[in-house]
Amino acid sequence: MENHIEIQDDIVIINLSGNLVRSTGEDLKNEVSGLIDKGFRYLLVDLSNVHLIDSYGITVCIAFYKMVENIGGRLLFVNPRPAVEKVFHITRADQKLQVVNSRQEGITAIHEKIRTTVEIK
């Protein structure tokens, strides 16, 4: 699995490609954990090029969700392929993990979250 990271404003966009499975998930989990430790709270995980996700990949995604929720941030998954979306659905992970159709949709949603958070403060 390869991943490419972009940062737009305060949003980290993680582009994944390949398979999110047991052999690849641990490194990704550590990488995202490191980003959160550096203070990033808003994450877009682009799944467009992920061909297969297994149960370990799902637990990695749930771990991302918990990390981001704990710091009041927001995590969105972008454009999963049907095979990946199916696993999100079967495992009921889609009850917690929010999926958007495009990066732009995700960026807009996160900007809204940031704006709301600032207004409340």
Residues contributing to the site for other proteins (CB under 8 A): 19, 21-23, 52, 54-56, 58-59, 62-63, 65-66, 82-83, 86-87, 90-93, 95-96
Nearer to other proteins (CB atom), residue 55 or residue 117: 55
Shortest Cβ distance from residue 47 to other proteins (Å)? 14
For residue 64, the minimal CB distance to other proteins (Å) is 11
Residue partners of 14: CB distance under 8 A and separation at least 6: 3, 4, 5, 32, 43, 44, 45, 46
Nearer to other proteins, 7 or 83 (CB): 83
In whole angstroms, give the CA distance from residue 82 to residue 72: 30
Phi-psi region of 72 (alpha: psi -120 to 50; beta: other; left: phi over 0): left
